[in-house]
Structure 1
């Protein structure tokens, strides 16, 4: 007898029920393209479990889903761990989110403070306010979570931070790589500086960023593709490309959309709970 596969709605309900039942989990949220409605039929499922207290990944392992489950802290700091699973022939990523850390980063961001961390697969690394970005974008499936606006103080400090990083990245590329005709290293620096500048552009607009997948496109920096494709291992050519890239990045920062202030114009209390109904 052929087993009938679960519909997406049934699958999401199954995941939510099992994850919400884990000890110390207070809320479950859907993230990624499925939260924003931009997913394809075969897109991964991204879910976050928000816990408070001594949450143990062993409880997640005990469910018996196929895949790898990390320890707390194995993936980094604020992005502190999770699981890559296959469930009902679907790819599922689960992220751990410590509510004590989340609340601390909300308070910090409201004062314009944050810190930077490296994270695998992210050229520019991540800011600690990523936790707020997730809350602002994700769909709450179970429990209640804050729905932060973009704090005005954060817009200024984040823009300055990322702009300075991009400037230093290009300066180092010119002095350390271009002079030696090292095209690959220059390409890496251009990609990194592009991501850093894109962070600055979107911070100035008050637009949240959760990953780098569409970051250059959103910031209007896809011209970097052609610059990188045309690199030659010649010092003078590399210097010219770096100068052109610097102008492109500066232009992107200086051009803000007319509606750029919409996200930060009004800042209700950032710990205001999400009033939207949980998904069934």
Structure 2
């Protein structure tokens, strides 16, 4: 499949991503293929290939069809197995990688990413992928570069942890009035930002909110029972839970400053 996809005009490389690339998959996990392209992409050819592989018509979302960051792609079922094609603009990935090396990152609104799409996910995906087809060697070269986590990005993500305090302060104002939606959003944001900062501090690529809490809790710098305490707080969503969140934020930020 990767070789056929790589022959589509515009596609420069194809990579296996997600849990199957990292060896953390379950038997029912999807197969995620990243389609790295430059310039104009022949989505008509992609749709024809998708239909051939799936044995039924498949809609292919072109660049921007799935939002500003996830970009586009297709969901297929091939021989009873879920296979996702995910578009990635290689020019944009390289620009983001340049920003990350300079200590700059963005967080954009994106469907499917309740914490927002954190731009370091782009080079993180490359670093963690398995290159399947890459005639020009472009993605392979980029993967070698992203094997080193930039110190400037680490510092930027750790520095961004200040927002967790700000979010807890917002939750504190709303908790006494019973505004559970705002409290839940504030505390989820606080813990999501902490997870990004903790993983960045440890030079671990974070490509998605899914699994971020578990990954952060396994770090040597994580407070004791970090994941359990986050879970208990998000189940509470009352003033006591907000104070627990404040205590946890303080602990993590103190450890990040060490």
Q: Distance in 1 between matches of 2:254 and 2:215?
A: 15
Query: Residue 96 of structure 1 is aligned with which of 44, 68, 87?
Result: 87
- SS of the equivalent of 1:123 reads coil
- Check 1:164–1:56 CA distance in 2 against 1; reply closer, same or farther (3 A cut): farther
User: Residues 87-236 of structure 1 correspond to what in structure 2 (within 5 A)?
Assistant: 87-143=78-134, 144=137, 145=139, 146-147=142-143, 148=146, 149-161=148-160, 163-175=161-173, 177-220=174-217, 221-222=226-227, 223-231=229-237
The equivalent of 2:20 in structure 1 is 34
Q: How many residue pairs end up in the alignment?
A: 235
**Aligned Cα RMSD in Å?**
1.9
The answer as to whether partners of 2:120 and 2:207 remain within 8 angstroms in 1 is no
Query: 1:220-268 CA distances to partner (integer Å, 9 max, x unpaired)?
Result: 231211122234xxxxxx2322121121123234336x9xxxxxxxxxx
Query: Partner of 1:141: helix, strand, or coil?
Result: strand
Task: Calculate the TM-score normalised by the size of structure 2.
Answer: 0.84
SS in 2 for 1:180: coil
Residues 110-130 of structure 1: CA deviation (Å, up to 9, x unaligned): 111121112222221122121
User: Residues 179 and 138 of structure 1: is their aligned pair in 2 closer, same or farther, counting only changes over 3 Å?
Assistant: same
Gaps of 5+ in 1: 1-14, 232-237, 259-280
Structure 2 partner of 1:262: none
1:64-99 C-alpha deviation (Å, 9 max, x unpaired): 134442121122333211211112211111111111
Listed one character per residue, the Cα deviations across residues 150-170 of structure 1 (whole Å, up to 9, x for unaligned) are 111111112222x13322222
Where structure 2 has 5 or more consecutive residues not aligned to the other structure, the ranges are: 218-225
Aligned to 1:273: none
Question: 1 or 2, which has the higher helix percentage?
Answer: 2
Are the counterparts in 2 of residues 68 and 85 from structure 1 also a CA contact under 8 Å? Answer: no
Higher relative contact order (CA 8 A, sep 6+): 1
Judge which range, 99-108 or 30-39, deviates more. Answer: 99-108
2:176 alignment partner, SS class: helix
Quote the residue 1:16 is aligned against: 2
Residues 213, 181 of structure 1: alpha-carbon distance in 2 compared, 3 angstrom cutoff: same
User: Is this contact kept in 2: 1:110–1:153, CA < 8 A?
Assistant: yes
Local SS of the residue matching 2:205? coil
